[in-house]
A and B are shown apart, each in its own frame.
Chain A
Amino acid sequence: MSAATTAEPAFVAKTKAGRVTDFVDSRVGGSGILREFGRKVFPDHWSFMFGEVALYSFVILLLSGTFLTFFFDPSMAETHYDGSYVPLKGVEMSVAYSSSLDISFDIRGGLFMRQVHHWAALLFVASIAVHMLRVFFTGAFRKPREMNWVVGSVLLILAMAAGFTGYSLPDDLLSGNGLRIIDGVIKSIPIVGTYISFFLFGGEFPGTAIISRLYMLHILLVPALILLMIVLHLFMVVVHKHTQYPGPGRNDNNVVGYPLGPVYAAKAGGFFFIVFGVLALMAGFFTINPIWNYGPYDPSPVSAGTQPDWYIGFVDGALRLMPGVINGFHFEYVIFGFTLTLNVLLPALVPAGILFTVMFMYPWIERWITKDDREHHVLDRPRNAPTRTAIGMAGFVWYCVMWAAAGSDLIATHFHVSLNDVTYWLRTLFFIGPIIAFIVTKRVALALQRKDREIALHGRETGRIVRLPHGEFIEVHAPLDEYKRYKLVGFESPKVLPAEPNEHGVVTGKEKRRAFLSKWFFEDRVAPATPAELEAAHGHGHAAVEASEDSKSLTH
């Protein structure tokens, strides 16, 4: 390989692979690329694999989705089912639903592909979400990666869009009800809502156009945008090189890990097959979306316990939590002769709007508060950024409360509690849950930092109890080696940055607000242990004992 990439005029490759490589190289100039990337170093950590899972799920989605398009017919024309699923024989339904049933029952491997596709879609959104949590909690979104964070956030929204447009395609009762809810939400938009609804559905709900329109979005527009964003995302990963966790030998000027070829490529490539294998197992054994149980869409029936796919759950939950009437105050009222229906509009748009706005802007918010304009390539351990971690957990808990609310009826029936009580509790948690999460997380993070200091200065507990000559019992603490200790002490703990005057010598109101937030951000901090402190901890009068214990120190 390396012989083939040295392009000398008289060069003749010796092996067959070498000749092929040389043929390609002399025409497209691949040797430069190979030289750049062939041994590029990638840091290794299990938490870096979530993004990989997302990428691989997308590949599997493309493969299984392509198979499904060969058999799926997105027409809403009426037909009578004539397939091999007996309970629905002769039932009037749309061609879309009928062809979805055919894929499930009359095409060998069709059901398997449908289930692979659906599970992969759920995993795709889930892995993006977890990947984003990893990026957030480790501070990987900081300079220079803010724009890649934005691209990733766009990918999350696109993944949800892809999921929702696909969910509706089989035109079964459950997905039809989902569309019905979307239609209701769209109609609540002031001024243009009714028009958007009519334009989307090609007339009144449900009409005969929506499935084929969603189909085009699902198989062309949205995947194309996702692909474009993935290309941008990975391009920026290459430009920035990957972040790395803090540890000995790792700093902002280097990247420590395994070379792409062969180890990293083998691990990452092998991981694709593992993701595929796990999805195949799930598709083989766990039924997902058994559309044949639901029947064709009909506006009249509905089954209790209806659930959207998990990633839409938080919006559905918010819709459930919002009361329509509080103490006689109706959230729907008439202004200037027009109807404003805030009981739908607020929960559908506001929580999701807040979540996504804060998500998109967070890198800039933190950069403004901390005035930190340096490049960061070494990640923060979440405990070492207590306030950020607490903010993240507050948002996460808020999301989870809404998500849980989407299953309020199932919670009530499963635990035999009153549905109304579940809703009241979740309404309360909607407001206080994030606050509790913030306080608890921040305290836990600070406690973990203190624990780290303790271990760095006094070593780890060995569980060995020793009785000293004068009768005192002590536990032997084993000191850390310098590599392990560096992992616990090698972090930054920024201090509060007070308001500074600008170039005219004036402290602006904005700067005062920034200083206030900086105080809120950094006022509680645990400084990393210093060598002097370590010295002091050891010079505690145990020098003799430590020496005699041979590499094991005693402290108390």
Chain B
Amino acid sequence: MGNHSDGSPNHSGTVATAGQNEVEKFQDPGIPPHRLRLADTDPKAAKRAERQVALLFGLSVVGTVIFLVAYFAIDLGEDAGIATIRLQNALLGVGTAFAMLGIGTGIVHWAKALMPDHEVSEERHAIRYEEDRVAAVRIVDDIVEETGIKRRPLIRNTLLGAVALAPLPAIAIFGDLGPRPDEKLAHTMWAPQDGNLKRLARDPDGTPIKASDVTLGSAFHVIPEGLNELHEGKLNEKAKAVVLLMRLDPSSLNPSAGREDWGYNGIVAYSKICTHVGCPVALYEQQTHHLLCPCHQSTFDLTQECKVIFGPASRPLPQLPIAVDDEGYLVATSDFKEPVGPSYWERDMHERSNNS
């Protein structure tokens, strides 16, 4: 019975109802009386606090010395390994920390132990005074009146029009930040060049891949042949053209009508750029034939033409039609039939024009 903290409903813990008026309130007893600290009454304690503050400031000096020694004495020469850099970094950290914390804790200790700790009460002033407000309103009225803007709507309206249009050049001048997108996103390097089909090459060294190299269950990161020889825009092309090449048991692939000849002997190639927001779909689960994007976990099923089976992507990975050339190398028979990577406003338009 002695314990009231469980709030028995018949006691004071009841929820007040809306109709119940508080008749009176507790009076504010004012700021609690000031309590003296040890250092206020005992000169020895004050002296001790003084020495502690001085000691902390002294520690700061030690920290500064540590920093300087670490900076000048540790040599980051040619043969310095990562361990040396880590050591220097740690010592610079310790030195700075001592230097700063020494000053900081010293000052705070000084303030808390030795400076007056009387709480003071100060009146708040009104943010604005009625007198000022009235005067300000009058001033504004006078200013508006003297310009005569209300009496001369022609001036007002033409000014508004001019001011509204004047920022347009400031927007237009950014027009050369970038080129127009046109159809750049619709095409990749895989399109045959001068009638020559592009070979599939290993990423990153660029050596072409023979169909016979691709054993059952293996996966290759693929770039188009010639990508590494590009001098300009190499990363731009790579960001669209990277492909994953895998070989499955042909019976587990279920190509839809029109895609029967896009693979070769169970070897299929799909764009590596996720159709969600463009991360590389770099994880291949050999057993389940799932492709997983490590950024947002979109999961694509290779046996269903990379249909989305989990995650935020909404569209299958585009497939690259491949075949084998006379020398046994894998080649792309055409560009992707649709734009690769994340969706964009004009995407469907580009896909239609690619296929027409």
Interface segment, one of B121-129, B135-143, B246-254, B319-327: B121-129
Q: Is A109 an interface residue (CB 8 A)?
A: yes
B297 interface neighbour in A184, A188, A200, A320, Cβ under 8 Å: A320
The answer to whether A537 touches B296 (Cβ under 8 A) is: no
Q: Is B164 an interface residue (CB 8 A)?
A: no
The answer to whether A306 touches B295 (Cβ under 8 A) is: yes
Report the bound CA distance from A194 to B96 in whole Å.
47
Output the least CB separation between A23 and chain B (Å): 27
Residue of B nearest to A342 (CB): B314
Q: Is A195 an interface residue (CB 8 A)?
A: yes
The answer to whether A461 touches B3 (Cβ under 8 A) is: yes
Q: Is A154 an interface residue (CB 8 A)?
A: no
Report the bound CA distance from A343 to B313 in whole Å.
7
The answer to whether A84 touches B96 (Cβ under 8 A) is: no
Report the bound CA distance from A263 to B118 in whole Å.
10
Which range holds the interface residue count of chain A?
A: 35 or more
Output the least CB separation between B350 and chain A (Å): 9
Instruction: Determine the chain B residues whose CB is within 8 A of the CB of A325 once the complex forms.
Output: 308, 314
Once A84-B78, A526-B15 are accepted as A-B contacts, the answer to whether A489 and B111 lie under 8 Å apart by CB is no
B103 interface neighbour in A192, A270, A454, A483, Cβ under 8 Å: A270
Among A207, A263, A523, the one with the most B-chain Cβ atoms within 10 Å of its Cβ is: A263
The answer to whether B346 touches A338 (Cβ under 8 A) is: yes
Contact sample, A vs B, 17 pairs, CB 8 Å cutoff: A41-B120, A109-B71, A181-B278, A181-B279, A206-B235, A239-B127, A248-B29, A256-B120, A269-B107, A283-B89, A298-B235, A300-B221, A305-B294, A324-B312, A344-B277, A447-B7, A486-B28
Instruction: Determine the chain B residues whose CB is within 8 A of the CB of A383 once the complex forms.
Output: none
The answer to whether A266 touches B313 (Cβ under 8 A) is: no
Instruction: Kindly identify, within residues 306 to 356 of chain B, every residue whose CB is under 8 Å from any CB belonging to chain A.
Output: 308, 310-315, 341-349, 352
Instruction: Determine the chain A residues whose CB is within 8 A of the CB of B240 once the complex forms.
Output: 204
Q: Is B201 an interface residue (CB 8 A)?
A: no
The answer to whether B277 touches A181 (Cβ under 8 A) is: yes
Which range holds the interface residue count of chain B?
A: 35 or more
Residue of B nearest to A475 (CB): B2
Instruction: Determine the chain B residues whose CB is within 8 A of the CB of A475 once the complex forms.
Output: 2-3
A319-B296, A458-B12 given; name 17 further pairs at CB < 8 Å: A40-B122, A112-B89, A115-B89, A197-B344, A206-B239, A270-B110, A276-B100, A284-B90, A300-B223, A300-B272, A324-B308, A332-B315, A341-B344, A458-B4, A474-B2, A490-B26, A530-B24
The answer to whether B181 touches A300 (Cβ under 8 A) is: no
The answer to whether A320 touches B311 (Cβ under 8 A) is: yes
Output the least CB separation between A214 and chain B (Å): 13
Once A262-B111, A490-B26 are accepted as A-B contacts, the answer to whether A108 and B276 lie under 8 Å apart by CB is no
The answer to whether B31 touches A320 (Cβ under 8 A) is: no
Instruction: Determine the chain A residues whose CB is within 8 A of the CB of B341 once the complex forms.
Output: 184
Output the least CB separation between B17 and chain A (Å): 9
Once A205-B236, A253-B124, A339-B347 are accepted as A-B contacts, the answer to whether A344 and B85 lie under 8 Å apart by CB is no
The answer to whether B24 touches A409 (Cβ under 8 A) is: no
Q: Is B116 an interface residue (CB 8 A)?
A: yes
Residue of B nearest to A523 (CB): B18
The answer to whether B294 touches A304 (Cβ under 8 A) is: yes
Residue of B nearest to A495 (CB): B18
The answer to whether B101 touches A278 (Cβ under 8 A) is: yes
Residue of A nearest to B33 (CB): A483
Instruction: Determine the chain B residues whose CB is within 8 A of the CB of A202 once the complex forms.
Output: 177-178
**Interface 0/1 of B8-50, CB less than 8 Å to A:** 0001110110101011111011111000000000000000000
Residue of B nearest to A283 (CB): B93
The answer to whether A203 touches B236 (Cβ under 8 A) is: yes
Output the least CB separation between A191 and chain B (Å): 6
Instruction: Determine the chain A residues whose CB is within 8 A of the CB of B99 once the complex forms.
Output: 277
Report the bound CA distance from A365 to B180 in whole Å.
43
The answer to whether B16 touches A493 (Cβ under 8 A) is: yes
Report the bound CA distance from A304 to B93 in whole Å.
31
Instruction: Determine the chain B residues whose CB is within 8 A of the CB of A262 once the complex forms.
Output: 111, 115
Q: Is B97 an interface residue (CB 8 A)?
A: yes
Q: Is B291 an interface residue (CB 8 A)?
A: no
A281 interface neighbour in B16, B93, B115, B235, Cβ under 8 Å: B93
Report the bound CA distance from A529 to B25 in whole Å.
8
Q: Is A337 an interface residue (CB 8 A)?
A: yes
The 7 closest A-B pairs by CB, nearest first: A284-B93, A184-B277, A273-B104, A270-B107, A249-B31, A475-B2, A277-B101
